[in-house]
Amino acid sequence: MINRFLIPVVAFVLLVVVLAIGIKHSPEKGIIASPLIGKPAPQFSLPSLADPAHAVSSAALRGRWYLLNVWGSWCGTCRDEHQMLLEVRRSGRVRLIGLDWRDDDGQARGYLQQLGDPYEFVAVDHDGRTAIDWGVYAAPESFLVSPAGIVVYKCMGELTPDIWQKQILPRLGQAQAAGS
């Protein structure tokens, strides 16, 4: 008899556990995790921002780690993370490739001129198809891709020093220690 009156309390405790886990994970927002993790990176062949007549392709990126950063001159948060991107460039730990999403070439070049260009090269995605293939929700987003061409990590939102230290460097370090 006493058992059924305990049901509400027990159910509540379970709920608290669920909510606590929810709070713990909320910075990562697991609900929007990328299905690309662990899968081969989508292929692309797009005009380069520096020289539109010349195409840049993902095929050229195999063999080394790279970080694909999705941005646009219209994107406010991208400005916030720009300092970090320049740091990444300076560190030389990984190639930084830009994907200029749904942007105007002139404004994009102006943006890079004004803030500095951290990218090895920038691929221009005017119609958004490549961004769709990568499952881009919004800018900025960054994808860490291994030399074998597998997507290893996706950063949704601003690339902060914290994420660089805690999420990206360890993955790069692990791989280098393992000799890949």
Kindly list the residues in this chain that would bind other proteins in the complex (CB under 8 A).
1-2, 5-6, 8-9, 12-13, 16-23, 25-27, 29-36, 74-77, 102, 127-129, 131-141, 156-158
Helix (H) or strand (E) holding 142: strand 141-145
Nearer to other proteins, 92 or 127 (CB): 127
Task: Give least dist CB 179 to other proteins, A.
Answer: 32
Residue closer to other proteins, measured from CB, 5 or 178: 5
* AA identity, residue 133: D
Listed in sequence order, the residues at least 6 apart from 157 whose beta carbon sits closer than 8 Å to its beta carbon are 77, 140, 141
Least distance in angstroms from the C-beta of 81 to other proteins: 9
Query: Residue 91 and residue 85: Cα distance in Å, rounded?
Result: 10
Nearer to other proteins, 8 or 63 (CB): 8
3-class SS at 123?
Answer: strand
User: CB of residue 96 vs other proteins: minimum separation in angstroms?
Assistant: 18
Closest CB to other proteins among 50 and 77? 77
Q: How far does CA 125 lie from the centroid of its chain?
A: 16
Helix runs in 92-120, H state only: 105-115
Do residues 156 and 29 touch, judged by C-beta distance below 8 A? yes
The CB-of-76 to other proteins minimum distance in angstroms stands at: 5
Q: What is the token pair recorded at 180?
A: 């890949």
**Which residue's CB is nearer to other proteins, number 94 or number 139?**
139
Least Å from the CB of residue 159 to other proteins: 10
- Distance between first and last Cα of the chain: 63
Nearer to other proteins, 134 or 164 (CB): 134
**Smallest separation, CB 110 to other proteins (Å):** 17
In degrees and rounded to multiples of 5, residue 74 shows phi and psi of -85, -5
